[in-house]
């Protein structure tokens, strides 16, 4: 086979193992037959574009990164202000990482909530949680009707299977938010 086929085999195996998935688990998630995935990991087939797209979407990576020889970096760095922009009127922020972990997904946000603005988020689905660490300022967070005020250095976690809200108190507040979702696809706000 080709260098791309070998790269795909290595990348698929690395991604699958890093996310704690068996071939059967991955097959169920991406809709690609287990036998096909087995052949891809052993460089025994050239998959179709549809197969590559299904695998890439499952791991939230590009098709190009699947067929490219991986860079073996030991540390991944995302500089301040980088990542997927999720800013709106109530907050400024970025998704820093979204990764399938076992049977679920972890998504990390760095956000600044603006004083005088309220952000209300819908349910992220059954079993979803938010873990919040306040970097600076103070903020009211939590399910509607059960909000708590957090201050710099505080941590809180709560289920987000219902409507929840964010409101900076006495100035802007900067937070780290770790979303955990029990399914493979992350919620997009």
**Shortest CA distance to 15 belongs to which of 75, 48, 74, 61?**
61
What is the reported pTM?
0.55
High-pLDDT (> 70) share of the chain, %: 86
β partners of residue 148: 141
* 3-state DSSP assignment of residue 169: strand
How long a stretch of residues is the chain? 189
- Per residue in 55-92, pLDDT (tens digit) is 999 888 888 888 887 665 555 556 667 778 888 888 88
For 163, the token pair is 């409507």
| Number of Cα atoms under 13 Å in the Cβ half of residue 120 | 4
Query: CB within 8 A of 78, min separation 6: which ones?
Result: 96, 97
**What's the pLDDT at 185?**
41
Between residues 158 and 184, which one has the greater pLDDT? Answer: 158
What is the rounded distance in angstroms from the CA atom of residue 129 to the CA atom of residue 39? 37
**What's the pLDDT at 158?**
87
- Per residue in 124-140, pLDDT (tens digit) is 887 788 889 999 999 99
- Per residue in 91-117, pLDDT (tens digit) is 888 887 776 666 678 888 999 999 999
């Amino acid at each position: 086979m080709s260098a791309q086929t070998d790269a795909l085999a290595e990348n698929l195996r690395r991604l699958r193992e890093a996310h704690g998935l068996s071939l059967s688990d991955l097959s169920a998630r991406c809709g690609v037959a287990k036998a096909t995935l087995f052949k891809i990991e052993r460089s025994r087939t050239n998959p179709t574009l549809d197969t590559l797209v299904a695998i890439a979407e499952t791991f939230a990576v590009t098709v190009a990164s699947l067929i490219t020889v991986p860079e073996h970096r030991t540390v991944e760095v995302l500089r301040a202000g980088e990542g997927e922009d999720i800013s709106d009127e109530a907050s400024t922020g970025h998704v820093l990482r979204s990764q399938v972990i076992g049977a679920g997904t972890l998504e990390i946000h760095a956000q600044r909530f603006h004083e005088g603005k309220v952000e209300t988020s819908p349910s992220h689905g059954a079993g979803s949680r938010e873990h919040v660490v306040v970097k600076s300022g103070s903020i009211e967070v939590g399910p509607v009707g059960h909000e708590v005020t957090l201050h710099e250095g505080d941590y809180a976690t709560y289920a987000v299977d219902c409507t929840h809200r964010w409101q900076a108190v006495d100035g802007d507040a900067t937070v780290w938010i770790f979303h955990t979702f029990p399914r493979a696809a992350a919620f997009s706000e």
